[in-house]
Amino acid sequence: MAQRFVVIWFHHLLTDWLILKKPGMREVPFIFTAAEHNRIIVIAANQEAESQGIFKGIFAADAKAIVPDLQVFDHKPGRDASLLKTMAEWCIRFSPIVAVDRDNHSLIFDITGCAHLLGSEEAYMNKIANSLHFKGFRIRAAMADTIGAAWAVAHFGKNGTIVPSDEQANALLQLPANALRLQPDNLERLIKLGLKTIGSFIKMPRSVLRRRFGDDILLRIGQAIGFEEEVLQPVKVISPYEERLPCLEPICTASGIEIAIEMLLAKICRRLENEGKGLRIAILTCYRVDGNQQQVQIGTNTPSNNVAHLLKLFTLKIDSIEPALGIELFILEAPKVENINPSQEVFWGETTGLEDPQVAELLDRIAGKFGAGHIRRYLPQQHYWPERSVKSTTSIKEQPAIAWSVAKPRPTQLLPYPQRIEVAAPIPDYPPINFRYKDKVHHIRRSDGPERIEREWWMDKGEHRDYYVVEDEAGCRYWLFRLGHYSADQTHQWFIHGFFA
């Protein structure tokens, strides 16, 4: 398939942006200025100012002399680059590969394999032009087999030109030499020699062109005709696993969104299955006709290419998508995939626990409904100090390095840090009679302990803890401890550190 490119030139980028912010400036001549070599020059002029003879590059003082009531605004460095980047990200709806030509206020689209989605190249070009015009930007556009040819025609040819495949050389002949994006010294030299159009020198021997103008002119000619490759740097790196679904009519209903998601999942899961992979994270981006984007994300505990399961996870998110006037493009990408181990299907499986795929899918649905932060998994660690005896993990497949210790009872909920409590306890080394926690007094009916846990001296310093398992009058069980040895001449500190089921 031959490559095709579209170049969009925003020839009034800054002034169009200001008019969008201040519609009252539409009929007012105004300019943007900036300092350059100790002089104030015009960076951009709106159409009204241009109609009165003010153009980019002249001195601001001269412009004020021509139009006394001219409105002048200071140019903020980097504003045009920021605007172009924003426009490029918005234009991803037309092509997955969009690059920015900052110096020339242009966007470059690689539309190879995209135009047929709207029926024809003409319809595709009109769609882009009309959408940008609807947003309030005046543009010039062209389509060709090469970036160089599309750029040249967009800037110096007829607006909206679609150069047929393999006809880019003929399309360049009547254009001026600066349509090739040459270095200023080469351009000046060509004009001095009277070579003002591309057709006047493009057929000269390469050795002659190289001797007089260097390799730059040969490179630009080759890029425009297609002999030299020109690499784009897209504003967004394409995910290796990404599927797009443009809609002929905007989608406004939940059922329509669900059908679109199912179609995208079927495509991407088929690829993943063929490659022995499953997705861990999937992101759905919905491009609305009003320019807004809606995005939802799902995650799985284990790599999965099960369309039905993944669709259930997305179904939980559909209510958060606001289609407004309609969604015209869906993009599904899987930024994180992992290898999946194919398993033999059996009628009576003996897999249980976390090895059971249904458990992993259940956890995925719970995480999708309540949030991934509501599910935690802990593994034992080689420490007996309570805060270090467990660690949190996000993987369902990670196996514990050691076995869980069952020699002593441990609470099902361990506080990350012990919390201070007020305790009434007989002495010495007796369990407490009651304790106050969060302004509530708990009278203890039963207790067990103490269990002394020494501090790991090679990691930090401090006193040991004497732990008690206590049960209050309501039957609730707690894990309390007293810090350090009992002493009659000091106040002891008591803490609560966990809750039993």
Q: What is the mean pLDDT of residues 353-382?
A: 77
Q: At residue 343, does pLDDT exceed 70?
A: no
Q: In terms of DSSP bridges, do strands 377-380 and 327-339 run parallel, antiparallel, or are they unpaired? A: unpaired
Assess whether pLDDT exceeds 70 at residue 351. no
Give tens-digit pLDDT for 178-228.
899 998 888 888 888 888 899 998 888 888 889 888 888 999 999 999 888
Give the whole-angstrom CA distance, residue 387 versus residue 183.
66
Q: Where are the alpha helices (DSSP H) in 297-375?
A: 307-315, 357-370
Q: What does the pLDDT average to over 77-90?
A: 90
When pLDDT is cut at 50, 70 and 90, the band that residue 344 belongs to is: low
Closest C-alpha among 253, 232, 278 to residue 4: 232
Res 353 pLDDT > 80: no
Question: Which pLDDT value is given to residue 269?
Answer: 92
Report the C-alpha gap between 243 and 466 in whole angstroms.
60
Token pair of 289, please?
Answer: 């006709």
By percentage, how much of the chain surpasses pLDDT 70? Answer: 95
pLDDT of residue 303: 86
Is the domain 242-339 a CATH 3.30.1490.100 member?
yes
pLDDT given for residue 36 in this prediction: 83
pLDDT of residue 487: 72
Between 368 and 242, name the one with better pLDDT. Answer: 242
Per-residue pLDDT reduced to its tens digit, 391-410: 888 777 778 888 887 888 88
- Average pLDDT over the chain, rounded to an integer: 87
Residue 424: what are its φ and ψ, rounded to 5°? -110, 120
pLDDT of residue 164: 92
Task: Collect all residues with Cβ–Cβ distance below 8 Å to 337 and sequence separation of at least 6.
Answer: 241, 272, 277, 278, 279, 280, 303
Residue range 19-54, pLDDT digits in tens: 998 888 888 999 999 988 888 999 899 888 888 888
Q: What is the pLDDT of residue 3?
A: 87
User: Which residue would you say has higher pLDDT here, 369 or 421?
Assistant: 421
Domain boundaries, the chain: 81-225, 242-339, 415-500
Q: What's the pLDDT score for residue 299?
A: 86
Amino acid in position 400: P
Whether 491 shows a pLDDT value over 90: the answer reads no
Tell me the per-residue pLDDT of 98-135, one tens digit each, with 9 for 90 and over. 999 988 899 999 998 888 877 889 988 998 898 889 88
- Residue 347 is predicted with a pLDDT of 55
Q: Each residue of 278-289: pLDDT tens digit?
A: 888 999 999 988
Whether the model pTM is above 0.85: no
Residues 30 and 47: their CA atoms lie apart, in Å, by: 9
pLDDT over 80 at 375, yes or no: no
| Per-residue pLDDT at 428 | 63
Kindly state the average pLDDT of the residues 59-70: 89
251 pLDDT higher than 80: yes
